Amino acid sequence: MALITLKGGVQKEFPAGTSIADIAKELGMGLYKAACAGKIDGVPCDLRTPVTEDCSVEIVTFDDPDGKHAFWHTASHLLAQAVKRLYPEAKFAIGPAIENGFYYDFDVETPFGPEDLEKIEKEMKKIVKEGLPLEKFELPPEEAVKFLEEKGEPYKVELAEEHAGKGEPISFYKQGEFTDLCAGPHLMSVSPLKAVKLTNCTGAYWRGDANNRQLCRVYGIAFPKASELEEYLTRLEEAKKRDHRKLGKELGLFTIMEEGPGFPFFLPKGMILKNTLIDYWREVHQKAGYHEISTPMILNRSLWERSGHWDHYRENMYTTVIDDTDFAIKPMNCPGGILVYQNDLHSYRDLPLRMGELGVVHRHELSGALHGLMRVRCFTQDDAHIFMTKDQITDEVKGVVSLIDSVYSLFGFKYHVELSTMPEDHMGSDEDWEMATNSLKCALEQLGKPFVINEGDGAFYGPKIDFHLEDSLGRTWQCGTIQLDFQLPERFELEYTGADGEKHRPVMIHRVVFGSIERFIGILTEHFAGAFPVWLSPVQAIVLPISEKQADYARKVKDALAEQGIRVELDDRSEKIGYRIREAQLQKIPYMLVVGDKEAEAGTVSVRARKGVDLGAMSLEDLTAKIKDEIARKVSGLEEE
């Protein structure tokens, strides 16, 4: 018998060799039908996996991330099987589950088009109705390679040969006539894949290497219920409407030109938005005791070697030669911040020393990864570096978490926290890493912030706390981060004089709130669908005279608001008033001020909100007070949506 610890700490005995599927069935048919995969001692596995000894077992459904992974991974095999039936000559690469769905890479003579995807999707639905079970089997490495060679799958052979060096059996999954090299886990059968949709088709290089053959990548999504798929597709359509690249062009915020791929151009209205965010950043950091600095964009190779970036980050850096010496355009601000610290002598009385920098950094990104403002090659990182004593770590981390919380709350974002631990490619001793990681854990626990552990995803110089914010569509974005660093202070031999008169090594925090100004603007644009809060809007009000007769009064209204610091425009074109109101709504301008004869005589304006709500006639004094109050309080504006 095996003693099984279930969710909530409940323990039950089952005969050794009982599968997780049978355990789920014993617990209830509802759970069994909803089950996608299992976990044994926290490790994801198939429902068909037998339990042979005492352990903890968890049954995961589609509501659980591991359940979604198994569901979507099985859907990728369903896609591959459908392609094999329709296009027998296709060669198969990889087909993983991803954050939102799945994809599969195929080597085909002609890339698939919309009509092909429609045929493939139809075939997938046909296979689901066949209810094929998935069966797992293993082969010795040599047999596995031979098996794949006989099937004529060169990409799979390459993967199997790499695995063969480990000397372990190689696992396969079979459904009907289709067999794929795979580690799993998977569903028990294809039957639960009732709602499937292929969403996109792009090119992708094998192994992500531009020197390799370009494959055809097909993306898809799947759900247990048709209603869930419908809801997802509706959200997808809404996301397309909110695409920051589309809105950025329509609202005149930014552009990307062919002369500078990955290097955004900010237009006048975009600069107002960017500078308003920067003003807010300066305001909150000044209150939090930060000193602003600025460091050079280009620094010599010896600095980057000393910091470790030349060895660990070289492929992402742009370099040049000046006076026969190698230089690099900075991909990060931290080495420059360290040089500023070294510029003066410090005592324990100076610490913590908080230095903020809105530094422009450059990082080489592959052209295929570039995406509007979300993934660029040049951006303004809202960096800060805090130098402190070891006994100040917890309080400083708590202070940064509180600052980040206040910023995200202002914009109406929810967020969750991840703690990333030591990666394989790291600097420093295991002891330093353990102390740093425990310090971050302690700060989060004292604040009562729930967090999940992200094993092995820390920076090469230290563990980090990442903030994943959730926008109005429920999508998550990784923005803020807090990285604790014992390594760079050691490499640069940073010092402060302690109360004992001796020299000591400070500890360093790297942190950002927005992540980058550019990316945060992209996220805000989609979060608010371009309808920015009044305090952020590039244009806060627009004056619309009904006819030429009110033109003089309309200009007086505009000038009066502008004198009060309100960003206002005048649209006195000869177009009909209804057309101009509609144009202002499309530009997402918060307030439209219509003036006719009645308003001109009374010295008022007729106020319309951008969602079409008529707020009636208001005096200029009342309107000015209303707008200035919204600006001062930084009202989020989400209540309009």
HEC sequence for 176-229: CCEEEECCCCCCCECCCCCEEEEEEEEEEEHHHCCCCCEEEEEEEEEECCHHHH
Active-site residue, from 73, 77, 510, 511: 510
Helix, strand, or coil here: 568? strand
Active-site residue, from 36, 45, 201, 334: 334
Active-site residue, from 68, 242, 385, 580: 385
DSSP structural state of residue 373: T
Q: Is 334 a catalytic residue?
A: yes
- Angle at 223 (CA atoms; ends 221, 226), nearest 5 degrees: 110
Count of alpha carbons within 13 angstroms of residue 229, beta-carbon side: 16
Q: Token match 């990182």: residue?
A: 381
Q: Is 510 a catalytic residue?
A: yes
Is residue 193 within 8 A of residue 98, CB to CB? The reply is no
HEC sequence for 256-317: CCCCCCCCCEECHHHHHHHHHHHHHHHHHHHHCCCEECCCCCEEEHHHHHHHCHHHHCHHHC
Q: Categorise residue 387: left if φ over 0, alpha if ψ from -120 to 50, beta otherwise.
A: beta
DSSP structural state of residue 589: -
Rounded Cα distance between 605 and 585, Å, is: 17
Give the DSSP H or E segment for 585.
helix 577-586
Give the DSSP H or E segment for 480.
strand 476-485
Q: Is 381 a catalytic residue?
A: yes
End-to-end, the C-alpha distance of the chain in Å comes to 58
Active-site residue, from 46, 66, 382, 383: 383
Active-site residue, from 81, 244, 362, 381: 381
Helix, strand, or coil here: 483? strand
Rounded Cα distance between 106 and 83, Å, is: 9
Is residue 330 within 8 A of residue 350, CB to CB? The reply is no
DSSP string, 42-53: TEEE-TTPEE-S
Rounded Cα distance between 438 and 463, Å, is: 10
Q: Which of 401, 426, 378 is nearest to 511 (CA)?
A: 401
Q: Is 363 a catalytic residue?
A: yes
Active-site residue, from 309, 363, 527, 588: 363
- Provide the pairing of β-strand 101-107 with 135-139: unpaired
Helix, strand, or coil here: 538? coil
Residue 165 makes CB contacts below 8 A (sequence gap 6+) with: none
How many other CB atoms sit within 10 Å of the CB of residue 494? 18
Rounded Cα distance between 595 and 526, Å, is: 32
Structure tokens belonging to residue 3: 């003693």
**Catalytic residue positions, numbered:** 334, 363, 381, 383, 385, 464, 510
